Amino acid sequence: MRILIVEDEARIADFLERGLRAEGHFCVVANDGEAGLALALDGDFDLVLLDLMLPGIHGREVCQQIRVNKVDTPLIILSAMDSLDDVITGLRMGADDYMTKPFSFEELLARIETVTRRSSEITTQEKSLATGPLEFDRSSLRFSVDGREIKLTAKELAIMELLMSNPGTLFSRERILSNVWGLNMDPLTNVVDVYIGKLRKKIDAENAESFIETVRGLGYRLRVV
Ligand code: CA
């Protein structure tokens, strides 16, 4: 995903940028409200992470202006202002979520997943996902390669849907596990690797490079073809 980070504190901006890059995202950092607003209005971002106490324009105003200008990019406020009033005001300004600092990076990832899934459900529900020769029709749950239908189990379909939602993006085993099997699975299980193996047997042509790339020690991603 393309993520805009609007944060004036270099330490926090750095931490976010490094963490999100490691998860396979592309990040742009704006250090004040003005730059953040301009980028949010012009840039083609999938998500905005917005601090409130910013030099120049206050984050609340940034958020409001983004929505007034009919930009509906998912937006999460990250702020040290933690009163219920602050949270409610932020959500009323059009933020999709509000996290108070300090926060755990794992929780941020989970919230990002929720708000971006919500928005992609709104814009692309009922549509099919397609990457190169791979196609997944969400309404009929039909998966095909080069127009040839391939029978996949529910779990296999869920993995493909996840990978195809963001081709080229790295998905850690933990993310695949929590998305497809739920959070209660033992994180040490190798079930993800087993299912990826099954999927490869079904969808890859013999001797061809696999559609699903292994990123050693990190996870998997869909090859952009
Ligand atoms: Ca700040």
Tell me the β-bridge partners of 214: 220
Q: How much is the pLDDT for 183?
A: 65
Tell me the β-bridge partners of 137: 128, 142
Distance 10 CA to ligand 1 centre (A): 9
Distance 34 CA to ligand 1 centre (A): 13
Distance 8 CA to ligand 1 centre (A): 5
> Which segments of the chain have a pLDDT < 50?
126
Q: How much is the pLDDT for 77?
A: 96
Q: What domains does the chain contain, in order, with CATH numbers?
A: 2-123 (3.40.50.2300), 128-222 (1.10.10.10)
Cα–Cα dist 155/158, whole Å: 5
Q: Is 131 helix (H, G, I), strand (E, B) or coil?
A: strand
Distance 38 CA to ligand 1 centre (A): 18
- Element of type H or E holding 5: strand 2-6
CB 65 within 8 A of CB 33: no
Distance 116 CA to ligand 1 centre (A): 24
Q: How much is the pLDDT for 121?
A: 66
Kindly report, residue by residue over 181-196, the tens digit of the pLDDT.
876 677 778 899 999 9
Distance 33 CA to ligand 1 centre (A): 10
Distance 204 CA to ligand 1 centre (A): 48
Radius of gyration of the chain (CA): 19
Q: How much is the pLDDT for 88?
A: 87
Q: How much is the pLDDT for 189?
A: 80
CB 12 within 8 A of CB 30: no
Buried b (16+ CB within 10 A) or exposed e, 6-35: bbbeeebbeebbeebeebbbebebbbbbeb
Distance 52 CA to ligand 1 centre (A): 6
CB 17 within 8 A of CB 31: no
